[in-house]
Structure 1
């Protein structure tokens, strides 16, 4: 699929959705004048939004392309550009400006009950963590191909939202009973999904994941099929009844880390990357980092997990040993990055904030394990800092001398 075709398809779907939802909303209004006024306000707001997003896209696209942070395969673009930014790039802000108001209007039309259901589904996908899976895929694919194409866009969107809805939504469904006793649930750190939404969540996860997986599979070959299969299996196996890898100590941390490393491997296999020793070291460091993150996060749930009869790495070896294990794993991740070619060693500094965040809990006890939630909340925001540092390092590697 060419870039213009993908852009036209996305913008077309957004336009049709926007017109349909706007039309349904207009039909509900009894007064023609009220309908006309609301329509005018709606499209004026959409127009202003499109204009602002177009200006920002034109500025930053031109800056990034001029700096040679990425480029487009000539045979896959239309050749029409604004500055050096291909015209197709402007389909994304257009689609966003059309789709988001349409989604808002659709929810408003459905009443308070539908809005609550949607907000719960959204919360269940952990929006604050979306970038943690999309970034590895995008970085791995883009660094390998050095091009933006439809596979990059499709994969990034998949690992941004549908993948997270499946990963966390399935977890919230099968963990409902234990989540009732967990004070962390019901906010930033996860939804407390009402039983009436369990079937809806599972169906929504399936229907939003399958089309993306089929298209990504068609774009790749056996290596990417295997990577996708492992990724999806890890998502399901971690929480689903009958598998419940989250209740198998140490395997729980391995599976959780797979959730975040596998998108990068999918990106690499789709891009046809060669798995050299330096690349394996980077992936290994990332994997060890992921295991440390899961282990440290499990400490705060020792109390609720034991009450619910859930076994985890933290409930088995205790809070103190788990905190020390996390510290060692993060340290190993940093050492592994020191062994990679330049500018890889710069990434070793990324583990420092995590070590500083975890170190004060060196002597944490099972009785005080719940207090580590403060550090876990800090950990969530540290990921954004890590992403920023990783991006700067990638730019350093990418930009010609």
Structure 2
């Protein structure tokens, strides 16, 4: 399948879905969805969104292509471009900007209950954290192949949304009883899924994951199959009854870190990367970072977890020891990067903000552990800053001299 075919197919499907949803909504002839009312505002909002995304796509595509971060195979392109950016790249923001609002309008036909159910499903996938799993896959695959192809797009989309719906949705289903006592739930840090949505969440996770897994598995070899198997097993084992790795101290941090490192390994195996010592050290540093992140995040839940009978690394060794454990892991992650070829050592700087964010809680107690949520909320946004630094380092590495 050529790149134009893949890109245009996605845009056509999204546009068709948008038109169908708009037509169904307009057919109701209700004041809220009449053609002259909300539906007109709907399309104005879509047009503004598409325009903004087109501008951003043109800017960042031209910058990244100009710096030599990636290239396109000319024989797979239509040959039309905006500066250096191929016209096909603009199909993705178009598809997203049309499809998502159209889906919301279509759900309106089922009433407020259906819209609320859909919003809870989306919330349970932690949209603010989608990029944390998609980025490792995309970076690993792109930096190995240095080309954008259908596998990159498919894998990125999978690890962006369906993978997170499975990982966090399954967690919200099986953690419902303890989540009731957790004040963090019900916002960007996780949904408080009503029991009537549990079955739907599990079905949605299965139906959105299986097709992607089959295609990615068929496109790869035994190494990809193993990486995907480990990734999916870690997602299920962390929360599902009978396994519940999240209740096995230290194994909980290892499993959580696997959630974020395994997408990178999948990308590397799909791209046919050679696992050299510098690459292994980079993955090890990433893994240590993931373990530190999980351990530090568990501190704020010591109270609710103990009330719910959930054992974690933080409930077992205590808040103070867990803070120090996380600090050591982040420090080791930075040290590991110092032994990679240039510009890898620059990445050691990335752990500094996490150390600064965590260190003030050196003497936190179990009784005051809930206050670390302040630092955890900063941690969520620090990930975007760290991703920007990592991107700059990657650009430095791949920019021709």
Q: TM-score range by the shorter chain?
A: over 0.9
| SS of the residue 2:120 aligns to | helix
Corresponding residue number in structure 1 for 2:399: 399
Q: Counterparts of 1:50 and 1:113 in 2: how far apart (Å)?
A: 29
Contact 1:62 1:83 in 2 (8 A): yes
> Quick one: distance in 2 between partners of 1:225 and 1:263?
12
Are 1:217 and 2:231 an aligned pair? Answer: no
Matched with 2:258 is 258
Describe the shift of the 1:304–1:71 C-alpha distance in structure 2 as closer, same or farther (beyond 3 A). same
TM-score, normalization by structure 2: 0.95
SS in 1 for 2:291: helix
1:367-386 alignment, distance < 5 Å: 367-386=367-386
Q: Give the match for residue 285 of structure 2.
A: 285
Separation in 2 of the partners of 1:20 and 1:339? 55
Equivalence for 2:364: 364
- CA deviations over 1:95-147 (Å, ceiling 9, x no partner): 12321331221132221111111111111111111111111111111111111
| Correspondence 1:47-196 to 2 at 5 A | 47-196=47-196
Could you tell me how far apart the structure 1 residues matched to 2:318 and 2:48 are? 56
1:35 counterpart SS class: coil
SS of alignment partner, residue 242 of structure 2: coil
Q: Distance in 1 between matches of 2:160 and 2:46?
A: 24
Secondary structure of the 1:69 match is coil
* Alpha-carbon shift at residue 300 of structure 1 (Å): 1.2
Q: Write out aligned runs for 1:222-301 (5 A).
A: 222-301=222-301
**CA offsets 1:41-96 (integer angstroms, 9 cap, x no match):** 65555445444443443343233222222111223323333333222112112212
- Segments of 5+ residues of structure 2 without an aligned counterpart are none
Q: Distance in 2 between matches of 1:188 and 1:19?
A: 31
Contact 1:76–1:149 (CA<8 Å) still a contact in 2?
Answer: no
SS at 2:94 equivalent? helix
Partner Cα distance (1:23, 1:203) in 2: 28
SS of residue in 2 equivalent to 1:192: coil
How many residues matched?
A: 400
Q: What's 1:389 paired with? A: 389
TM-score by length of 1: 0.95
SS in 2 for 1:110: coil
2:379 and 2:34 map into 1 onto residues whose CA distance is 49
**RMSD of aligned Cα (Å):** 1.8
User: Structure 1 stretch 62-71 or stretch 343-352: which is displaced more?
Assistant: 62-71
Contact 2:28/2:34 (8 A) holds in 1: no
- Return closer, same or farther for 1:292/1:60 CA change in 2, 3 Å cut-off: closer
Q: Structure 1 residues 219, 76: closer, same or farther in 2, change over 3 A?
A: farther
Aligned counterparts of 1:91 and 1:269: Cα–Cα separation in 2: 27
Contact preservation (8 Å) 2:104, 2:115: no
Q: Paired residue for 2:21?
A: 21
Match of 2:334 in 1: 334
- C-alpha displacement of 1:152: 0.8
Provide Cα deviations, 1:321-342, integer angstroms capped at 9, x if missing partner: 1111111111100100011110
Offset at residue 203 of structure 1 (A): 0.5
Distance 1:60 1:334, change over 3 A: closer
